Structure 1
Amino acid sequence: MSHNSELLCTKFLAPAKVALIALIHVYCSHEIQTSSRVALLMLLLKWTDGKDTCLSLFGLSDFKAHLSDIPCVDGGSAYDRLLLKLYDIGSMDDLCSLINDIDSDFFKVSNDSGNIAVSSTSLVGHFLRRSYVEFKAMEFDERVDLWKAFATFRSYADNDMTIASLHKPESQRMFSPKDSFAMEDVTKMFEFQIEYMQKQGCSLPVSMVETLDKILAHSFRTPSSIYYIRFLHGWRCGDYQEAFENLHRYFDYTMHHNDKIFYQYALLNLAILQADFNCLEEAVWAIQETIKTARENKDNICLNFSLSWLYHFQKSHPRECPPPASSDNATVQFLKVKAKETGMVNLQSVVYLSEAKSMIMSGGNATLIFESIMKSAYMNASINLLESVGAQFLVQATFWSRLGISNLGKFYTDGFLDLFQDSSFVEDVVKIACRSAYTLVNCGRYDDALMVLADIESTASRSLRIHQIWVTYKTLIMFKRAIRNERMNEVEALSKRLNSMPGVTEDCRLDINFAQIEYHTRCGNRELALTLSSQYLDSSVADDLDLYNQLLLGRPLRSYTLLMRCISIAEKSSLVPAIMEAVCMICEIFNSIKSHQQVLAILDATIPYIVECENAELLGKAYYETAKAIIGASDLLEAVVGGQERDAAEVRGKIMHAIRYAKLAYAEHEKLEDISRMLDISSLLARLYHIVGPDYTDDRDRTAMQNMSLRQMRSDARRSGMLTVT
């Protein structure tokens, strides 16, 4: 579309549709080779149907791209025949004749063959009849403008082939050029733009805003969908005022023209908008009004969706929502029945997935959880609902990670990012990428985690709310790294930033809480860490939050009774990582009371499961406790200090066995860049190398130098730990 030309807006007809009528003439004249007629017919059906294309925005270059490879009987291509037909239209009178003769040319029985060229009930026939009716309804000046626009449209071929110059009519030079579009196609373009913005979660680029403004300036009426586009644009840009005003304009317009049947959808959009801008009380009011209105209007689709949205909102924001009138299970069962009654397969899929998430959070039976996930996956596959794959894969990754099979959980997150990223909602993409990055942090792969987040930075920037999720996870990763590096100034700055983050999800908030408890514990503020842990635990129980997180919040208490209770609860719910963490805590307690043989027996059975969890901190702790248990079980240090006579080979063998485990523990904590833990293990190694004698002098000296280097690193980090990453 030329930026210097005047725009012509028509209701239906446009130059490209005149060209399509000419192309139908070419098809019906039997000039196309028999082997290629089906290919041309498929193009005609696609263009006349118009569901996937805005034909009025086509240029001759688009026709050329599709028709140049379709051969004619006597040589040349279908595009050449189209140009000949177009240049036969030498005046406005010829244009009128082309459209006025549609009935006689296509729908009347031919004297030669006794058949009609086009059935009036076919897609092509419907397009021809509508073109005829719309042209008859046009005023004379509108027909003149259509002819001017057609002349401009055809001028693309002036330098394309010699036939253009031979047939170029003088009348074409009499008019100024006009670009044109049909209002029907513009409406389709707006609807496509809405669908794209909703799916991708993005705002409009500046060039698109300028194009839309130019189209609207020349249109004879303003489509209501433009207000919805502006609402989405303001929403994605974080402009609450613009989004709110345009949402009201859109539904004021639709209610005026559609007898107020869209009022409940206005309220539903308002609820979602309020929730995204953290106006939670207003969101609750809006969704409750939506449910009332949808029930009054007997709009089951809107009612079921609203109930589903309210259910998820209550799970995410339990403090802001009034207590539900029924239990979670009753709500889910009600939604199942209603979704099945109304044939809403997509809602059935969402309900099954919600049921699985609810059971995961409450520690439900693993078999039932897997069954619900598979039912949801079947529903998605039955209607090819690719948009729901992201939510499904996220739940599956969480499920397998809770069972202690982290590599399978990572398989789902990586598989989604590789295969389904382009066809899924941008929010799902960002959430899964953040989860994948945070999983890498547990393995000590900070740089890889930050690289995963960097790869989706442009995607996350499409929406303010989604960008806040991305920034929160990036800051959290930096926070955990700074804690383990003991860069305390940086830790304090990042902690303040995390506490001031708006719109933090509940899962991320709990991860932040755990990290802050770890921070205060490492700083020696154990009383504050214990207080925070108790507060978070009481809050999570009151809000009925995730059972796994409730178990983890018991960690600072260091209580054997509580740990056994955690193991009992986690075992019933198949929460393997929580069991393994509690086991490591119990082993630490047993080592402190010198029950070393029990520690060796426990860890010998559980280390394979800990390896599957792919948690470097947990595995390093298990190896370290094993090394201490080997030393304690053999009384090696006491024997050496007390000068007891022991078999030298036996002592050396035990010590070397302990050294191997200590080195494994050091390697895991080195991945995490955990200076404090590395120092503890390095000190143990130095003592062990001192015991084994002069044969390991080099190893002892190297360990001593390593110990000094770590102490210097910790001292420097604590003294000058400035914020190095923004």
Structure 2
Amino acid sequence: MAMFRYLTVQKVSLLVLVKLYCQSVLPSSATIPILSFILSHTIARVPSSARSHSEASQDASLPIHAFEEVLQSQASSMPGRTLLDVFLKDLWAISSLDALHDLFNSLDSLFERDGPAGESEVHERPEDRIVLHKISPLGTFVRRMRLEFTRLQFDDAMKLWSAFLIYRAPTAQWTRRIAGLASSGVDVNISTFDLGPGDELFQVAYGQLDAEDEVIHAISTHDLERVLEFQLDRLQRLGCRVPDDMRAQLRSLLESTGSVVRQSHLVNFFDAWRAGDYTSAFDNIHRYYDLAMLTRERMEYQYALLHMAILQAEFGSFTEAVAAINETIVTARENQDMTCLNFSLSWLQHLNNACPEQMKRAGYKGLLGSERDAFAFLKMKSRETGMYNLLSATLLNESKRCMATGESVPRAFEQLYQAAHLNTRESIDNHGGHMLLQSTLYSRLGLSDLSRTYCQLLLDCYGHSSPNDERIRARCRCAFNAMHSGRYDDALQLLEASEAFNHRTLKFQQYIYFCTGLIKLKQAIRRADWAACESLFSALDSDSCNDPEISFLLFETRIDYLICHGDFSQAFKLVEQRALALREHDADVLQRLGLLLMKATLFSTVRKPEGGFSVALRAASIAFRTRLMPALWSATGLLANILNTLGDFEAASRMLHAVIPQALENNEPLSCGILYSYLADSYVGLAGCAGPAMSTGNRSRITQMSRAGLYIDKALNCFKEVKDVHGECEQIMKKALLAKFRGDEKLAEEWAQNHNRVWDHTIHNVEQ
């Protein structure tokens, strides 16, 4: 059986409710709720920032119980009766197929009549009822219902009548309160001719009533298209897949239709894309646009090319993606489609910034000149065409580029606030990307608590309207913050909770997989679990990760592992290779700065302070200029450590005292523990410089040693918090050496035994 194009039994019931409204039988208090209910199921609502997207969706099935919930709470003009009683009375008054025809034939009386001159004859309007205008929302709905019913053949009208009987059947028990309404059964003619279920005529007319008719006629082709459009909106905006239960329902509905619904191929395309099914995605996108070319939607050819380019880039085929997007731009210019043209240019610019190495290998040389010229062009075109969504995205990309190149921080904030103002003024639902970028900016400024707050705000307040990609990134950042505080179990639990977001989406699963592996790697390195490190490194190959940020974090973790293992030559080689690659592709300044810090750390570890001093000083200068505060504190700590090695303990202590209070505000125990350890070394050096011959020198040395012990304790607590066994054991050995310098051999022995106990306990737990 084929679906009806527009008519459904639910709409017939809504038509009865519209007729009741026009007859002025509704009390004033019930007018707004009833009209809201009618319009919510007859007019497609546009989602807004004030209304959640789940609320903006429409239930095309609309069971009869929905009418009961709305009408039962509203009192009618009859004492002791509700509007549900009045509604069911009119609903059951349609007691035959002829009565159903009478309902549609009487719809003309609901409209105002036009006079000879085309003007409404207001004086002929009845005062006891409401008339509809033909172009009003309710008038449009009523006129289309009448037109669609007029076009029905007798067989289809009979099918609609049978489905209507099944639809209203659950209310038969309720209507027995009203005298004799349901006594006639399914049809008044049955009682007239004294027919029953065993008679042949009854079996011919109503013997085939079953749930199949109800399923088929519960939704029309028009409603199915609206459901598919809603699914497309969710797939495109949120980047998710179709849920399993919804997929089964859509499949059964599509199989029951007599014609092919073009949007179904696009739904299957996005679903296969998110699942990583490259072949099925291409197959469905070709089917969709082949059908579009057979109809009047020939202007959608450039959008087919655009989808093709995005799909090719998603699966790593950048050469084909560049060719497809170039053809998209040419086609959009020929068709004068400025929307597609501006979006294509914006996406090409974004892809070039996100994957510069792959785009360079694909032969892309840029279409819009320099970065600054490209952003100026996109902003100008988006303002001219009124594409405020594109303008907001361009402002965010420009702010991101400012951070990546190390330009002015106030300029980055200015662009962020311009995008936020535009989102509010034009009701643009781009809050997720804005908050993620603001979180990144605060993280670079050393305000980790504020950065985490913005991620949590995205998840709690804007999670329902943000794409899954942004929600997963926000949750992963919260997990990394928990990892930096030593709460590894909490971090892993946060990532496990992200499984509800990805819904078997390949890209999201890979991102969560790499983040989970990275946290486990950090934990294994700090626990000295080298077997786990080797296993995780073999599973997490940084070359297989498409995300530059995660790839660099994996590389940074590998360098930490090599330093802990003492393989300094391999670490130097990898750092030099990575620095050369980043220099060629003009990478993020934070990554280039991280390589300088790694090199300075290696020089300091292998006891070559002269080589590390210039590198650390250059890193500190760049970090100060670009306001990358955590990198500045790390570079200052390395400079202080090098000065300690060179014997300039006073300068080192002054530098550390200047940065430690700021580093404490960032709430990262590991970096604070390292700085405290360097400061303790400075005070030990100052104690060694104090002359022992004089009493003042002895007092000064005792004071410096006491301060060194205090900061060693602080460093020990920080390393314990992050469960770093290397740092913890190093501080315990410093406590033992400090006791030995004081002449307390017994205390020094106790600290040495404590060192062995901590190390053995850690190794024992690792082996278990």
TM-score, normalised via structure 2 length: 0.88
Say if 1:36 and 1:516 are closer, same or farther in 2 by CA, change over 3 A: same
Structure 2 residue corresponding to 1:630, chosen from 678, 683, 696: 683
Matched AA of 2:9: P
What CA deviation, in whole Å up to 9, does each residue of 1:53-102 have, x standing for no partner? Answer: 65752121111111111211013222211111111111101101110221
Evaluate the alpha carbon distance shift between residue 701 and residue 21 of structure 1 in structure 2; reply closer, same or farther with a 3 A threshold: same
Which of 105, 116, 120 matches 2:134?
Answer: 120
Q: Which residue of 649, 653, 657 corresponds with 1:596?
A: 649
Q: How does 1:468-487 map to 2 (within 5 A)?
A: 468-487=510-529
2:421 equivalent to 1:378: yes
Alignment of 1:174-213 (within 5 A): 174-175=205-206, 176-177=209-210, 178-179=213-214, 180=217, 181-213=219-251
* Partner of residue 358, structure 2: 320
Contact 2:687–2:702 at 8 Å: present in 1 too?
no
Are 1:92 and 2:97 an aligned pair? yes
> Does 1:70 pair with 2:69?
no
Q: Mark the CA change 1:167 to 1:55 in structure 2 (over 3 Å): closer, same or farther.
A: farther
* Corresponding residue to 2:339 among 289, 294, 301: 301
Residue correspondence of structure 1 range 412-423 to structure 2 within 5 A: 412-423=454-465
After TM superposition, the structure 1 stretch with the greater mean CA deviation from structure 2, 663-672 or 469-478, is 663-672
Q: 1:272 aligns with which of 299, 303, 310?
A: 310
Are residues 1:709 and 2:762 paired? no
Among 544, 550, 557, the residue aligned to 2:592: 550
Task: Indicate how the Cα distance of structure 1 residues 593 and 116 shifts in structure 2: closer, same or farther if over 3 A, else same.
Answer: closer
Aligned-residue offset at 1:419: 1.6
Query: Comparing 389-398 with 334-343, which one deviates more in the overlay?
Result: 389-398
Map of 2:711 onto structure 1: 661
Cα displacement (A) at 1:504: 2.9
- Residue 546 of structure 2 corresponds to residue 493 of structure 1: no
Matching residue's letter, 2:482: L
CA distance in 1, matches of 2:690, 2:185: 103
Distance 1:457 1:577, change over 3 A: same
RCO comparison, higher one (Cα < 8 Å, 6+): 1
Give the whole-Å Cα distance in 2 for the aligned partners of 1:253 and 1:17.
Answer: 30
Amino acid at match of 2:133: S
CA contact (8 A) 1:659 1:688 kept: yes
1:339-488 equivalences in 2 (<5 Å): 339-386=382-429, 388-488=430-530
C-alpha displacement at 1:586, in angstroms?
Answer: 0.7
Moved more, 672-681 or 527-536: 672-681
| Equivalent residue number for residue 44 of structure 1 | 38
CA distance in 2, matches of 1:115, 1:507: 67
SS in 1 for 2:3: strand
CA contact (8 A) 2:229 2:263 kept: yes
Q: Distance in 1 between matches of 2:690 and 2:740?
A: 11
| From 12, 22, 29, the counterpart of 1:28 | 22
Within 2, Cα distance between the matches of 1:17 and 1:111? Answer: 27
Change (3 A) 1:142 1:56: farther
Aligned-residue offset at 1:201: 2.7
- Evaluate the alpha carbon distance shift between residue 256 and residue 293 of structure 1 in structure 2; reply closer, same or farther with a 3 A threshold: same
2:277 corresponding residue in structure 1: 239
Give 1:601's aligned amino acid. R
Single out whichever of 48-57 and 30-39 deviates more from structure 2.
48-57
Q: Find the counterpart in structure 2 of residue 579 from structure 1.
A: 632
Once residues 691 and 534 of structure 1 are traced to their aligned partners in structure 2, the CA distance between those partners, rounded to angstroms, is 41
Report how far residue 481 of structure 1 moved: 1.2
Mapped to 2, the partners of 1:518 and 1:55 lie a distance apart of: 55
Match of 2:62 in 1: 58
Runs of 4+ in 1 over 6 A off after TM superposition: 643-648
Which region of structure 1 is more displaced relative to structure 2, 272-281 or 238-247? Answer: 272-281
Measure the CA separation in 2 of the matches of 1:394 and 1:191.
Answer: 28
Deviations 1:595-645 (A, max 9, x none): 111111111111112212333222111101111111111218996xxx997
Task: Return the alpha-carbon distance in structure 1 between the equivalents of residues 690 and 546 of structure 2.
Answer: 50
Q: Does 1:220 align with 2:258?
A: yes
Distance change >3 Å, CA 636–CA 714, structure 1 → 2: farther
The range that moved more, 169-178 or 402-411, is: 169-178
Aligned CA distance change for structure 1 residues 502 and 138 (closer, same or farther; 3 Å): farther
Query: 1:286-325 CA distances to partner (integer Å, 9 max, x unpaired)?
Result: 2222112112211111111111111111111112212224
Question: Contact 1:670–1:678 at 8 Å: present in 2 too?
Answer: yes
1:452-475 alpha-carbon deviations (Å, 9 max, x no partner): 212212213441111101110110
Q: Which amino acid aligns with 2:432?
A: G
**Structure 2 counterpart of 1:687:** 737
Question: Who is 2:52 aligned against?
Answer: none
Q: Secondary structure at the match of 1:396?
A: helix
1:652, distance to aligned residue in structure 2 (A): 3.8
Number of residues of Structure 1 aligned to a counterpart in Structure 2:
708
| Alpha-carbon distance in 2 for matches of 1:501, 1:192 | 37
Q: Distance in 1 between matches of 2:723 and 2:311?
A: 42
1:4 is matched with none
Q: Which runs of 5+ in 2 are unaligned?
A: 46-55, 114-120, 191-196, 198-204, 604-611
Work out the CA distance in 2 between the residues paired with 1:570 and 1:335: 31
CA distance in 2, matches of 1:313, 1:637: 60
Deviates more, 1:612-621 or 1:579-588: 612-621
* Rounded Cα–Cα distance in structure 2 between residues aligned with 1:360 and 1:676: 34
Q: How far apart, in 2, do the equivalents of 1:200 and 1:53 lie? A: 14
The residue matched to 1:398 in structure 2 has which SS? helix
Please name the residue that 2:172 is paired with.
Answer: 158
Check 1:702–1:69 CA distance in 2 against 1; reply closer, same or farther (3 A cut).
Answer: farther
Aligned identity (percent) is: 28
Distance 2:674 2:58 in 1: 63
Q: Give, as a single letter, the amino acid of the residue that structure 1 aligns with 2:556.
A: F
Q: Check whether the contact 2:479–2:491 (CA below 8 A) recurs between aligned residues.
A: yes
Shift of 1:158: 2.1
Deviation at 1:702, TM superposition (A): 5.1
Moved more, 53-62 or 545-554: 53-62
Query: Does residue 147 of structure 2 align to residue 133 of structure 1?
Result: yes
Deviation at 1:190, TM superposition (A): 0.9
The amino acid of 2:520's aligned partner reads M
TM-score after normalising by structure 1: 0.93
- Shift in alpha-carbon separation, 1:461–1:210, aligned structure 2, 3 A: closer
Does 604-613 or 705-714 show the bigger shift? 705-714
Equivalent pair of 1:8/1:145 in contact (CA under 8 Å): no
Deviation string for 1:392-436 (max 9, x for gaps)?
Answer: 111111111212222221221122122211221000001111122
Any conservation in 1 of the 2:680–2:709 contact (CA below 8 Å)? yes
After superposition, the CA RMSD in angstroms is 2.4
Deviations 1:460-516 (A, max 9, x none): 344111110111011011111111211111111111111167443011111111111
